[in-house]
Amino acid sequence: MKYIDPHIHMVSRTTDDYSRMALAGCVAITEPAFWAGFDRSSPRGFEDYYRQLTETEPARAAQYGIHHHCWLCVNPKEAEDIGFAREVMSIIPDFMDRPNVLGIGEIGLNKNSRNELVILEEHLALAKNMNQLVLVHTPHLEDKLKGTRLIMDAIANAGLEPDRVLIDHVEEHTVSEVLDRGFWAGMTLYPETKCTPQRAVDILERYGTERIWMNSAGDWGPSDPLAVPKAQVEMRRRGHTDQMIHRVTWENPKTFLSRSQRFNVEDA
Ligand SMILES: [Zn+2]
């Protein structure tokens, strides 16, 4: 069954992963800008990274018939140094017109610090000024609920439409508030930490399939680029209809991403 993985960091995956994803039914992915696993030594390092996201990866993905789109930002982990982050942000507008760029992301909070919040607010203002979609990273574990609320308040203060913002890495204790406030919600399927495919399907059974998607968030750490098709299998095993599986793994991401005219993937 065809699917979209709307959050995966292909810069840190091999070409074999593209091949296996295509075999499993992947037709399109979107890749948010994120932390490379180390802090960049200079803001100029991001210029190369944005070229990789807008030139190299789309070409690599196309070899397997996969549409590649991306999101640009300074990730919250490197936003603690405000001067550094602002310098990086000053080059983002130069890349926003590239044909595979869908919006600003993944922005958000990591440690919920004051500096991270300042840079988050500046990203939101940039998204508002440039009329861009937003993809949000929420903090891990004990910081998640507080961080998610801080982020949702900042988005409201920035005057962005919740319907044009996806809040990712939701879990059992954050999903209902995110949906109730009108945002889109993303569930990240990790083999052990965050949501396993089983937990994600539990959440769908409890909260429904409106405005929610699943992604692998595959990166350089322990993660699984085939997490979305594995969740499809789990849904089928539990007796969910193909229509419901298609809604969560195809129609929902397509509906949200198509709010940007750059996302033009034909119906499956
Ligand atoms: Zn990510």
pLDDT of residue 193: 67
For residue range 65-87, what is the model confidence (pLDDT) as tens digits?
Answer: 999 999 999 999 999 999 999 99
Range of the domain at 219: 3-257
Greatest Cα pair distance, the chain, in angstroms, is 52
How far does the centroid of ligand 1 lie from the alpha carbon of residue 223, in Å?
Answer: 11
Could you tell me the distance, in angstroms and rounded to a whole number, from the CA of residue 131 to the centre of ligand 1?
A: 22
**For residue 18, how far is its CA from the centre of ligand 1 (angstroms)?**
17
Residues 133-182 have pLDDT tens digits of 999 999 987 789 999 999 999 999 999 999 999 999 999 999 999 999 99
Angle, CA 242 vertex, CA 240 and CA 245 arms, to 5°: 70
Residue 266 lies in a domain: no
Q: Collect all residues with Cβ–Cβ distance below 8 Å to 72 and sequence separation of at least 6.
A: 33, 50, 53, 92, 95, 96, 101, 104, 105
Compute φ and ψ for 87, nearest 5 degrees.
Answer: -65, -40
- Residue 55's pLDDT is 98
**Which pLDDT does position 141 carry in this prediction?**
74
Gap from CA of 34 to ligand 1 centroid (Å): 6
CA of 65 to the centre of ligand 1 (A): 22
CA of 39 to the centre of ligand 1 (A): 15
What is the pLDDT, as a whole number, of residue 268? 63
User: How remote is the CA of residue 8 from the centroid of ligand 1, in Å?
Assistant: 6
Which position has the token pair 């406030």? 181
Q: Which tokens sit at 195? A: 């949501």
Angstrom distance (rounded) from CA 102 to CA 264 = 11
Please give the Cα distance from 14 to 12 (Å, whole number).
7
Strand order in the sheet with 26-32: 3-5, 26-32, 67-72, 101-108, 133-137, 165-167, 184-188, 212-215
Write down the H helix ranges in the chain: 15-23, 44-51, 57-62, 82-89, 92-95, 114-129, 144-158, 175-180, 197-207, 227-237, 242-246, 252-257
C-alpha 106 to ligand 1 mean position (Å): 7
Q: What is the domain-level CATH number for residue 237?
A: 3.20.20.140
pLDDT of residue 9: 98
Cα-to-centroid distance, 217 and ligand 1 (Å): 5
- Going by C-beta distance under 8 Å and a sequence separation of 6 or more, which residues neighbour residue 226? 20, 21, 24, 216
CA 35 to ligand 1 centroid distance, Å = 8
CA 77 to chain centre: 16
Residue 254 CA to ligand 1 center (angstroms) comes to 19
CA-based torsion, 193, 60, 165, 91: positive or negative: positive
Ligand 1 centroid distance, CA of 228 (Å)? 15
- The rounded Å distance from CA 137 to ligand 1 centre is 7
Work out whether strand 3-5 and strand 184-188 pair parallel, antiparallel, or are unpaired: unpaired
Is 188 strand, coil or helix? strand
pLDDT at 248: 98
> What's the confidence (pLDDT) of residue 266?
85
Answer yes or no: is 267 within a domain. Answer: no
Whole-number pLDDT of residue 192? 72
Q: How far is the CA of 7 from the centre of ligand 1 (A)?
A: 6
Q: Which of 159, 166, 158 is nearest to 185 (CA)?
A: 166
Q: How many domains does the chain have?
A: 1
Position 265 in a domain: no
Classify residue 57: in a domain, yes or no. Answer: yes
CA distance 8 to 71: 11
Instruction: Give the Cα separation of 245 and 264 in Å (integer).
Output: 21
Q: How far is the CA of 168 from the centre of ligand 1 (A)?
A: 9
Query: What is the pTM for the complete model shown?
Result: 0.96
227 Cα–ligand 1 center, Å:
14
228's tokens: 């979305």
pLDDT at 142: 78
Contact by Cβ (8 Å): 161, 134? no
239 Cα: distance to centroid of ligand 1 (angstroms): 30
- Which regions in the chain score pLDDT beneath 50? none
| CA–CA distance, 42 with 160 (Å, rounded to integer) | 31
CA of 42 to the centre of ligand 1 (A): 21
